Amino acid sequence: MVMNLSSNIKIASIVILSSIFGIGCSNEAAEHNQLPSISPISEIGRLQEQLDSPSSDQIMVVAHRGCWRETAENSIAAVETCIENNIDMIEVDVYQTIDGHLVSIHDKTVDRTTDGTGDVSSFTLEEIRLLKLKSGAGGSDAEITDWQVPLLEEMLLAAKNQILINLDVKEAIYGQSLELVEALEMTDQVLIKMVALPDDERLTGAAFLGKTYFMPIVRQCRPEKQGMICSKDLSDVLPDYEKFSPIAYEVVFHEEEYLIDGVDEIKKQNKRLWVNTLQKHHAAGHMDLESVADPDNHWGHLINIGADIIQTDNPIELATYLDSKGLR
């Protein structure tokens, strides 16, 4: 046994020295004596592991429409900027042209974000590609860029193996979106969300279930919004979603008590809790503007309640804040 152990040590030493100093050995010897290789976890693998394993000291950052403040929303540049700044996930919007192509754009019309006018669904792909994106969040005063409205495929490829993607499918084109994600072999990188109660046929029959990550959007009922898909109590509805194996719950609330009511159930299911600081009614008044100015009392406050994914229009500032607190 001692001789065998000594021989193994010698062989290991030769292999290590060979790799360091470039000393050659025959293919046969290399195959016979090869040491097991240890590959570092990839960036996308690290992000997948974080998403799958909720942790109170690992808060994830989602860039709403990409890192658009530095570029243009739903643009290739917005994806690349998020990757350069180590953002965890980008939210990408999906619409369909009149000739059946999936493009990344948020609004029903092209008016706000491009130099054109009209419904997205009235353009052919060739026509919409002639338009130029406006900088930032667009609008009448925004500068015109040289960037085109991107195909969804282009957005996905720009993100492949580098950053997680949350698809916000704006029309009844979940099936077509899923087909593209599968064709690009990116199902393990994509999260699809849906506003639907647990018994809704759109959800119970959704083709993406079990193929991509899934997240239901659960909203607190608002008296002024009659007919909205919502629930009065968060804790009551959450158990009915568990059969769909969600990776997280996106909770939209105007009263903190609604969110607090469901935190224990979400943690019991070992799921992540996603909140948005985009608009006043998304997170009981905790908005990006106030969060950037006073992060402890807004982003930090939501984290203390139990949020561990935050979607924001200020992803770089949020990431910087989390880094300063050791929360990434």
| Active site positions, annotated | 64, 106
CA distance 268 to 270: 5
Identity at 80, one-letter amino acid code: E
SS3 percent helix, strand, coil of the chain, rounded to 5, is 40, 20, 45
Residues composing the chain: 328
CB 187 within 8 A of CB 212: yes
What is Dmax (Cα atoms) for the chain?
82
The tokens for 125 are: 């792909």
Residue 170 burial (C-beta neighbours within 10 Å; 0-12, 13-18, 19+): middle
- Per-residue 3-state assignment (H helix, E strand, C coil) for 171-211: CCCHHHHHHHHHHCCCHHHEEEEECCCCCCHHHHCCCCCCC
- Picking from 203, 252, 188, 219, the residue whose alpha carbon sits closest to that of residue 48 is 188
Q: Hey, is 318 helix, strand or coil?
A: helix
- How far apart, in whole angstroms, are the C-alpha atoms of residue 85 and residue 139? 26
Distance of CA 79 to the CA centre of its chain: 11
